[in-house]
Every structure is written in C-alpha cells, then in structure tokens.
Amino acid sequence: MLFTLPQKSRSLEGSTLTRKIISTGRGGTGKSTFVALALRYLRTPSLLVDLDPDSSLPSMIGVDLQREGKRTVCEALYDVVMRRKQNVTPTITTHDLMQSMLWSDALYEGKGFDLLTLGAKYVEGCYCAPDNLLRTTIQELVKNYAQLVVDSPAGVEHLNRNVVSDVDDLFVLCDPSLKALKHIQRVKHIVEQVGIQYRNFYLVANHQFDSTSESYLKQSGETYLGRIEYDPEVDNYNRQGWSLLDLPDDSPARLSVRNLLAMAGYS
Ligand SMILES: Nc1ncnc2c1ncn2[C@@H]1O[C@H](COP(=O)(O)OP(=O)(O)OP(=O)(O)O)[C@@H](O)[C@H]1O
Ligand SMILES: [Mg+2]
C-alpha cells in the first residue's frame, strides 16, 4: 500500500537491545574509516547513519547510492517540498510522506547493514528540517537493528543538532596535536550542554600517533582505548575508491579496530 511505513523484517542476533555508537572527531582524523573497519566486528544488522554532507562513508563500504537508485535524506526532503508545492498526494500528512519517502527511497539495504545518508542541502538555511526528519525516523527504525552507528562530519557542530541524544559509546578519534586535546574538552562540554546522554566516552588515537605521542591521551583523564595502526592499504583502498570491507583479514588497521572494540566490550 502506498505511503504506509514499510515493516522492516531484519532479524536480530541474540538480544534486541540496540547499541548506539557515534564516531566523532576533528576533520580527517579517520572517523569514517573507523566506522567502515568496525562494521566487520559488530553484531548484525547495523543501521549506519552518515551525517557528513560530503558522504564519504558509502564508497568506503562499497555502496554506490546513485547506482542503487537511493537518495540522501536532503534529496528526499526536497522531493517532499516539491510535491507539497505541486499539491501531489494532498491526503497524506507531510510527516508521513517524509517518513515514507525516507524509508523507501533513502534507506539502502545491504548485507548485514543498512545505510541512511544525510547528504547536502539544496536550499538555503540550517539543517533543522533534515535533522528533525532523521531524528524521528531513526527512533522508529533503530528498533530493528542490533546497532546504530553514526559517522559524523568534522568538528562538533553536529552534536548541537542532537540527531541521536542517547548514546552508548562515543568514540572520539584524535590526532596527535594540541588542538586535539582542546577538541576533546569541547566535545564533552557540548555533549553535556545539549543533553546528549552517553554511557562511555572513549578516546581513540588515530594512525598518525606513535607510542610517545600516545602518552598525552593516556594522561587526559578520559578512557583511552588505544591506537589504530597506520596501514598503507587503507590509504590505497580509499584513494582507489575500493571498499574497506574487502581489506585482508591481517590488515593492521582492521586488527587494531577489532582490539579497540574488544576493549569497549564488543566481541
Ligand atoms: N589506519 C589508517 N592508516 C592509513 N591511513 C588512514 C588510516 N585511517 C585513515 N586513514 C586515512 O586518513 C584519511 C582520513 O580518513 P577518513 O576519511 O576516515 O577521516 P574522517 O575523519 O572521516 O574525515 P572527514 O573529517 O573528512 O570526514 C584518509 O585518506 C584515510 O585513507
Ligand atoms: Mg568522514
């Protein structure tokens, strides 16, 4: 039936409690790479949400949204606005129309994971409308998944937008600079100000660290999980646009993400 919310039929392994994860950090620290590498070690199915308008996550996990005929949240929203202007389907509420389009047009269904991408706005103004749409849709959708995994854009602004407000694990990807320390404090401050509830606040050293520079994260007073190894193949795969899901099992970066997740209680 047109415009009723489709029932998802994902079956969960084991418990039905959804674990919610956010990968955040400064620009270029490896947030998306972390999400792509983590996917292999998370319980299935996962709902991935790419909040970065640049949308680099899909190609990192081998998804070509255009080829799949999928839209971003912003594109779906734009279509809804156009339909409203042209008075198409006037009997359905705007909210239901949006949700329906999001579920049918924007949700990519993959093997072991589904993906929603925010995309870039086409109209002037803030991200309030797409954020609200995502927030309510995620609340509904997430019950069908073992995990919700959010890949963030660079910086802290997305935290203000509060798309997901109750989080189990915040993974803060850090680079070896003094600015990174300030960034950690900013993330904590905003998360608390905005009222995002979280269970764990984890620091992760990115591939640019060595054992000497790691010491300042260890002394930060926050829970430090460990370092992701530099792996030239990760860089190579990203440059070639190959899926990081196809990295060999002995990839040092992949193994370090596995170990970090184990430290955080993912097995
Ligand atoms: N373990 C690693 N070994 C080698 N290179 C890496 C590793 N992790 C990430 N990189 C490289 O670092 C760069 C940034 O990675 P990525 O795009 O994941 O960062 P990001 O934080 O998501 O960036 P943005 O802020 O633009 O979203 C990429 O070129 C990627 O190939
Ligand atoms: Mg990214």
Which residues, judged by CB distance below 6 Å to any ligand atom, belong to the binding site of ligand 1?
A: 25, 27-33, 52, 56, 154, 207, 228, 230-231, 234-235, 238, 253
Strands ordered across the beta sheet of 108-109: 108-109, 113-117, 46-50, 147-151, 19-25, 166-174, 197-205, 223-227
Distance (angstroms) between ligand 1 centre and the Cα of 238 equals 8
Of all protein residues, the one whose alpha carbon is nearest to atom 16 of ligand 1 is: 30
Cα(206)–Cα(227) distance, rounded to whole angstroms? 6
Protein residues placing their CB within 5 Å of the ion ligand 2: 31-32, 56
Cα(178)–Cα(220) distance, rounded to whole angstroms? 12
Q: Specify the pTM.
A: 0.91
Report the atom number in ligand 1 closest to the C-alpha of 253. Answer: 1
| Of 118, 150, 235, best ligand 1 pocket probe by most atoms within 8 Å of the beta carbon | 235
Q: Which of 217, 208, 203, 165 is nearest to 25 (CA)?
A: 203
Residue pLDDT tens, the chain, 267 long: 233 444 444 444 444 589 999 999 999 999 999 999 999 999 999 999 999 988 999 999 999 999 999 999 888 888 777 777 887 777 777 777 777 778 888 999 999 999 999 988 766 667 777 788 788 888 888 999 999 999 999 988 888 778 888 999 999 999 998 888 889 999 999 999 988 999 999 999 999 998 888 888 988 899 999 999 999 999 999 999 999 999 999 999 999 999 999 999 998
Report the atom number in ligand 1 closest to the C-alpha of 256. Answer: 1
- Written out in words, the top-level CATH class of the domain with range 19-62+113-263 is alpha beta
- Residue the block writes with tokens 């193994």: 255
Q: Which of 74, 79, 76, 130 is nearest to 103 (CA)?
A: 76
Ligand of minimum distance to the alpha carbon of 207:
1
Distance (angstroms) between ligand 1 centre and the Cα of 29 equals 6
Q: What is the DSSP letter of 8?
A: P
* 50 contacts 151 by C-beta, under 8 angstroms: yes
Of all protein residues, the one whose alpha carbon is nearest to atom 28 of ligand 1 is: 235
Q: Which of 254, 260, 262 is nearest to 33 (CA)?
A: 254
> How big is the chain by its Cα radius of gyration, in Å?
19
